[in-house]
Amino acid sequence: MKKRFLGNSGIEVSEIGLGCMSLPTEKKEAGIIVDAAIAHGINYFDTADLYNKGINEEVVGQSLKRHRKDIVLATKVGNQWNTHSDEVKWNPTKAYIKEQIHASLKRLQTDYIDLYQLHGGMITDDSEETIEAFEELKEEGLIRAYGISSIRPNVIKRFLEKSNISSIMMQYSLLDRRPEELLDSIGQAGKSVVTRGSLAKGLLTGEGLQRAEKMGSYMGYAAEELKTTLQKLSAVHDNLHALALQSVLQHDTVSSVVAGASSADQLKTTIQAYKTPVSTEQITEAETLTRQDLYQDHRE
């Protein structure tokens, strides 16, 4: 498994990261998947305090504690949930971030977080206060680096200009190419992108057409257009999963593709796809078959 630097942080992350949201809540089952990921060379693990109201962090912490020195642990903050209901409030305040990190550290069974990410963001936020919180956490040794998880161009631009973020997590795939307009400017600023949704809810895997039948439309693709596009992409490369991963990883700005796995077999399929050769010509052809939409909202 190859590694790439996470922006200017000095941290190296595996080109495939494990998105932990879909891990089983049973810790033994989750541990099997985590151990398999490490055996395949994955060192980057991404969770969030919001997932299952902190339970996911507990599962990740238990599964990774004996590997802690060998892995890069990322989590997120900013969504304040109600323990007794499904209500979630957005809270990017300094006080909340500096309070919540201690709860995350306890659940994750560690004394530091490698990458602490703001789990969203709006242009109306007091970003100076948020940035100040992250900078203080770095000074205190509780985090090594910080980033944001956002697809909003105006929020991304603000943090590129005002903060020392190392990374931006963005949804990016052959079926959602909106981030491409931002990749060069992010890379030129010395920052990285870590991706989510690069398999487009399983559409860009061997089960793609079956999933498309059930799903109907996806992003800007109407139901029939989606199925036709997937058929054309499958004709470009006989492993659509591999084509999806390498199409995203071809960009130097991308440090890691964060892919979920709810079983060891599912993880193994992703690793096999990652190891499958894909040519530059095949990626170029795939791009001619897919839409290159732009973000329409949150630009100013």
Q: How far apart are CA 54 and CA 225, in angstroms?
A: 39
The residue with tokens 């809810």 is: 201
Q: What is the CATH number of the domain that holds 170?
A: 3.20.20.100
Q: How far apart are CA 154 and CA 124, in angstroms?
A: 10
- Give the chain's largest Cα–Cα span: 53
3-state secondary structure of 34: helix
Closest CA to 45 of 37, 86, 53, 271: 37
Residue 274 · residue 245 · CB < 8 Å: yes
Burial class (CB in 10 A: 0-12, 13-18, 19+), 3: middle
Mean pLDDT of the 54-58 span: 88
What is the total count of domains within the chain? 1
On the question of pLDDT at 80 being above 90, the answer is no
Q: Flag the least confident range among 27-36, 50-59, 233-242, 250-259.
A: 50-59
Long-range pairs for 79-82: beta carbons < 8 A, 24 or more residues apart: 79/48, 79/49, 79/50, 79/119, 79/120, 81/50, 81/53
- Give tens-digit pLDDT for 69-78: 999 999 999 9
Mean pLDDT of the 173-181 span: 97
Confidence of residue 85 (pLDDT cuts 50, 70, 90): confident
- Average pLDDT over the chain reads 95
Cβ partners under 8 Å of residue 92, min gap 6: 78, 118, 120, 121, 125, 126, 127, 129, 130
**Percent of the chain scoring above 70 in pLDDT:** 100
Confidence of residue 53 (pLDDT cuts 50, 70, 90): confident
Identify the domain containing residue 85 by its residue range. 3-199+253-262
Q: How far apart are CA 246 and CA 244, in angstroms?
A: 6
Confidence (pLDDT) at 243:
98
Strands 113-118 and 12-14, bridge-based pairing: unpaired
Higher local confidence (pLDDT), 83 or 127: 127
Residue 99 · residue 137 · CB < 8 Å: no
On the question of pLDDT at 54 being above 80, the answer is no
Transcribe 69-129 into DSSP letters: GGSEEEEEE-EEE-TTSS-EEE---HHHHHHHHHHHHHHHT-S-EEEEEE----TTS-HHH
Structure tokens at 183: 């990749």
Tell me, yes or no, whether 271 lies in a domain.
Answer: no
Confidence of residue 88 (pLDDT cuts 50, 70, 90): confident
**44 labelled catalytic:** no
- Give tens-digit pLDDT for 209-249: 999 999 999 998 999 999 999 999 999 999 999 999 999 99
Tell me, yes or no, whether 125 lies in a domain.
Answer: yes
The helix (H) or strand (E) run that includes residue 254 is strand 254-260
Tell me, yes or no, whether 274 lies in a domain.
Answer: no
Tell me, yes or no, whether 85 lies in a domain.
Answer: yes
Residue 175 · residue 218 · CB < 8 Å: yes
Alpha-carbon 136 to chain mean position: 24
Q: How far apart are CA 18 and CA 5, in angstroms?
A: 17
Structure tokens at 65: 């504690």
Confidence (pLDDT) at 110:
97
**Percent of the chain scoring above 90 in pLDDT:** 89
Tell me, yes or no, whether 211 lies in a domain.
Answer: no
Tell me, yes or no, whether 231 lies in a domain.
Answer: no
Tell me, yes or no, whether 68 lies in a domain.
Answer: yes
45: β partners: 18, 73
The residue with tokens 């307009």 is: 181
Tell me, yes or no, whether 143 lies in a domain.
Answer: yes
Query: Of 51, 116, 146, 221, which one is the catalytic site residue?
Result: 51
On the question of pLDDT at 55 being above 90, the answer is no
Confidence of residue 84 (pLDDT cuts 50, 70, 90): confident
Residue 106 · residue 68 · CB < 8 Å: no
